[in-house]
Amino acid sequence: MSLSVRWKGLSLRQQLAVAIGLVCVLALSLAGAGTLFQLHRQAKGALDDTMVSLGELLANRSAAALAFGDANTASENLAALEPLAYVSKACLLDLQGKPLARHHKSNQSPECAEPGSPLAALEYRLPVRVGGNEVGELWLRANDDALMQRLWPSLLALGGGLLFALVVALVAAVPLQRAMHRPLDRIREVATRVEESGDFTPRVPELGRHELGRLGRAFNRMLDTIQGQNDKLAERERHARALFEASHLAQLVVDQHSGRIMDANLAAAALLAPQLEPEILRGSTLWALLHVAPQALPLEGLRFGDPQLLNLQALRGADRWEAEVHVLSMDRDGHRIVHVVMEDVSERRALERAQREQTAILEQRVQERTRHLAQTIESLNDARDQLVLAEKQAALARLVAGMAHEVNTPVGNARLAVSTIAEAHTEFCRLMQTGLRRSELNHFLAQVEEGHQLAERNLQRVVELVAAFKQMSADQASSERRRFDLAQLIEEILRLMAPQLRRAACELSLQLEPGLEMNSQAGPLEQVVVNLVQNALLHGFDGLSSGRLTVEARRAESDQVELSVSDDGRGMTAEILARAFDPFFTTKMGRGGLGLGLPIVQGLVQKLLGGTMQIDSAPDQGTRVTLRLPLEAPSE
Question: Model confidence over 606-621: pLDDT tens digits?
Answer: 888 889 999 999 988 8
**What count of residues does the chain have?**
636
**pLDDT-wise least confident of 39-43, 132-136, 309-313, 374-378:** 39-43
pLDDT digit string (tens) for 540-554?
888 788 889 999 999
Return the top range by mean pLDDT from 60-74, 183-197, 459-473, 604-618: 604-618
Look at residue 630 in the predicted model and tell me its pLDDT. 92
The answer to whether residue 266 scores a pLDDT higher than 50 is: yes
Band (pLDDT 50/70/90 cuts) for residue 375 is: confident
In this structure, are residues 309 and 326 in contact, taking their beta carbons and an 8 Å threshold?
yes
Average pLDDT over residues 148-171: 72
Q: In degrees rounded to 5, what are phi and psi of residue 567?
A: -135, 165
pLDDT digit string (tens) for 43-93?
777 777 887 888 888 888 877 777 778 888 878 877 777 777 778 788 888
Find, among 269, 299, 297, the residue nearest to 284 by Cα: 269
Number of Cβ within a 10 Å radius of residue 532: 24
Nearest 5°: the CA angle 512, 517, 519 is: 130
* Residue-averaged pLDDT of the chain: 78
Distance CA 520, CA 562 (A): 14
Band (pLDDT 50/70/90 cuts) for residue 390 is: low
Give the CB-side neighbour count of residue 147, counting CA atoms within 13 A.
Answer: 18
Look at residue 404 in the predicted model and tell me its pLDDT. 63
The answer to whether residue 517 scores a pLDDT higher than 60 is: yes
Percent of the chain with pLDDT over 70: 79
Distance CA 530, CA 489 (A): 12
Look at residue 452 in the predicted model and tell me its pLDDT. 73
The answer to whether residue 403 scores a pLDDT higher than 60 is: no
Strand partners, 219: none
Return the top range by mean pLDDT from 216-225, 337-346, 441-450, 511-520: 511-520
State the alpha helices, DSSP H only, in 62-143.
Answer: 63-68, 71-79
> Which carries the bigger pLDDT value, residue 300 or residue 258?
258
Band (pLDDT 50/70/90 cuts) for residue 120 is: low
The answer to whether residue 463 scores a pLDDT higher than 70 is: no
Look at residue 527 in the predicted model and tell me its pLDDT. 84
Exposed, middle or buried by CB within 10 Å (0-12, 13-18, 19+), for 485?
middle
Return the top range by mean pLDDT from 155-159, 193-197, 213-217, 359-363: 359-363
